[in-house]
Structure 1
Amino acid sequence: MRIAHDYVPLMDLKQLEVFLAVFSAGSITAAARLLDRSQPAVSRMIQDLENDVGFPLLHRYGPRITPTDRGVRFHADAERLVTGIGRLRDRAHAIASEAALPIEIVAIPAFAAGLVPLALSRMTDDTLPARIHLRSAPAEAGIQSILARAADLCIASLPVEQPGLTTHTLARAPCVAAVSLSDPLADKEVIAIGDLAERRLLTMANPFRLRGRIDRALIAQGVQAARVIDANSAFAALRLAALGKGVAIIDPVTAYGMSLPDAVIRPLDIAIPFLWGVFSAVSHPLSETSRAFLQKLVETTEALIPGLIEYDSRHVDLTDVMADSQSGEWRAVT
């Protein structure tokens, strides 16, 4: 008996690279310049790719193009594949030359822009690989990258409860306030949560992570901010504070890892915990290079973050850390 199978043609890597260039540049003409190809050649490769996948990737309006809904969804997978092929080449080259393997790090913005570069700067040349890939991503996307084996290490804020992860470090530290040098609160050694009454609050947008703890702390203290600017980056809140646009409540990693000369960082009179961890896939043991980076990251964090509490990840469950932080009991678990 003959079994019929749907035929799915193999996609050409060069076609995918052309599609990514068109998607990034916004036009066939601009992509052709980026790739040093003729415009007709780029158009033909896009058409061939559309024939292979079986659906249109782009809407064409004369010289203008916009991605289709399917094209947008296809782009994310195509980008991961092409990027992964490039990284595979890097790893193959390192293996062939007996060099240190590349490190694939994905981190939340607070770490990616601050403490991770500082930790890398403290590694010696003989421990640094020839290539390091550092990507900033929300915690949820970072964890998925680890589970998909698209990264070696992920530094993410809690909660993180997905199965299949190895936890290397768990830590927390109190959030801080940031104000401009000219703000009257800059003269205080400790900023009281009540000082935020009738002030503009600058903070994070995601209600399921740090923002939720900030809101609960304000409610518990009976404090109502007059106005709020929220952002998906703590650095944006820090920058607004430096410009005198309000009082920022931000995580300590951003505050001490990306300090601004026009911003003053002060502790709060109540503890609003910021929690994070470093994770890898259970099925993907860390290389010596990754372990060397992890050690420098821990040392850098310990040196810069006041009030740091580190948990022994060998004996403490993630859910216990979350429950400990929500109870308001500031105790180190070792």
Structure 2
Amino acid sequence: MHSNSFDIRQLEAFAAVMSTGSVTGAARLLGRSQPAVTRLIQDLEADIGYALLHRSGPRISPTARGLLFHAEVERHLASLAHIRERANAIGLDEPPSLTIAATPSLAAGVLPQAIAAVAPDLIPRHLHVQALAAENVVQAVLARSADFGISSLPLEHPGLEVHWIAEAPCVVALAASDPLANDDMVRLSDLAERRIITLANPYRLRHRIDEALERAGVAPQRMIDVNASLTALTMVRAGLGVAIVEPATVCGVPLEGIVMRVLDHTIPFLFGAISPAAMPLTPTVAAVIDAARAVALAMPGCRLHDAGGVEALADTVYGGSPMTEDVPS
């Protein structure tokens, strides 16, 4: 690398080109001339010592290094924006801007109600919510690019403080017209001939769902894997099958034409609130974490675990002991 520092205008020009897909679009977005944007990117490439874009006439595309560099630029620009927001909040004696990272189901199914329950004077002018994979929630909190996170388990790291851990049983989502919707409880064996829609990540909740199906003697012949519970629910509404999902999305984002029923096997969905270890909580962060816990406890069958006993949950989370149990009829 030929320079130890970057001109912020160069980074903004590169980010704009990546966002719009063209120098012309970037120039329009930034209110600059096309030659000025081209020159900024050329200077940036000269500074870092490698090409960021492939050029073929009017068409451009990122190089492999350009893609990697863009991820860093996005993080840097977001951090600068947050610094500006926080500086303004300090000057106005207002609560600082807040960034929350959460898995998609919890961002949709828990956070809106939690934030709405917090006193208005604690809510900052700028609030950022990032829906990320659980592993990325952990990294965002560790990197301090998020003030705190709400994530599914497992998550273990000495740099994290776990404020609460909740466990709620998975549910089955059915079309309201489904014959099984007439039952208060649905047996996994009733789903043997159905197309089952469920989550894809084999190292998290999917592992527990697969184990429960095996224990019930159900070997689905037709399945749809998704990476977000809300997607599974829209698939159910379209008549594509039944969904076994965590309850947060079903409770927090109810969809017309979809009903939720308990299962005859308990499939635990575990999740919790995390923040950087040894980092004092602002009043806003503390209030949202407490409100999120209250929202979680309102889910059917939800209960809290000792937040200090993360290791004690390892068997439940990782599969060291039976992960399902029959629900008494």
TM-score by length of 1: 0.93
Correspondence 1:163 to 2:158: yes
Please name the residue that 2:177 is paired with: 182
2:300 is matched with which residue: 286, 296, 306? 306
Correspondence 1:323 to 2:315: yes
Which whole-Å CA distance do the structure 2 matches of 1:217 and 1:187 have between them?
A: 23
**Paired letter, 1:308:** C
The 8 Å contact of residues 109 and 250 in structure 2, kept in 1 or not, is answered as no
Question: Aligned pairs, how many?
Answer: 322
Which whole-Å CA distance do the structure 2 matches of 1:200 and 1:328 have between them?
A: 23
1:319 Cα deviation (Å)? 2.2
**Paired letter, 1:39:** Q
**Paired letter, 2:132:** A
Written as runs of structure 1 = structure 2, the 5 A alignment for 1:9-158 is: 9-158=4-153
1:133 Cα deviation (Å)? 1.0
Which whole-Å CA distance do the structure 2 matches of 1:235 and 1:220 have between them?
A: 26
The 8 Å contact of residues 2 and 47 in structure 2, kept in 1 or not, is answered as no
Which whole-Å CA distance do the structure 2 matches of 1:137 and 1:201 have between them?
A: 24
**Paired letter, 1:294:** I
Deviations 1:134-158 (A, max 9, x none): 1100010110011111011111111
Which whole-Å CA distance do the structure 2 matches of 1:267 and 1:280 have between them?
A: 32
The 8 Å contact of residues 233 and 258 in structure 2, kept in 1 or not, is answered as yes
Deviations 1:272-297 (A, max 9, x none): 00011111111422111111111111
Compute the RMSD of aligned alpha carbons. Answer: 1.5
Please name the residue that 1:196 is paired with: 191
Please name the residue that 1:3 is paired with: none
Which whole-Å CA distance do the structure 1 matches of 2:171 and 2:64 have between them?
A: 42
Structure 1 outlier segments of 4+, above 4 Å? none
Identity %: 45
Which whole-Å CA distance do the structure 2 matches of 1:61 and 1:312 have between them?
A: 59
Correspondence 1:172 to 2:197: no
Moved more, 32-41 or 197-206: 32-41
The 8 Å contact of residues 243 and 262 in structure 1, kept in 2 or not, is answered as no
The 8 Å contact of residues 182 and 244 in structure 1, kept in 2 or not, is answered as no
Correspondence 1:275 to 2:261: no
Gaps of 5+ in 1: 1-5
The 8 Å contact of residues 20 and 26 in structure 2, kept in 1 or not, is answered as yes
**Paired letter, 1:53:** I
Which whole-Å CA distance do the structure 1 matches of 2:324 and 2:105 have between them?
A: 25
1:226 Cα deviation (Å)? 2.0
Deviations 1:74-95 (A, max 9, x none): 1111110110011011111212
- Say which SS state the counterpart of residue 313 (structure 1) adopts: coil
Gaps of 5+ in 2: none
Which whole-Å CA distance do the structure 1 matches of 2:141 and 2:323 have between them?
A: 31
1:313 Cα deviation (Å)? 1.2
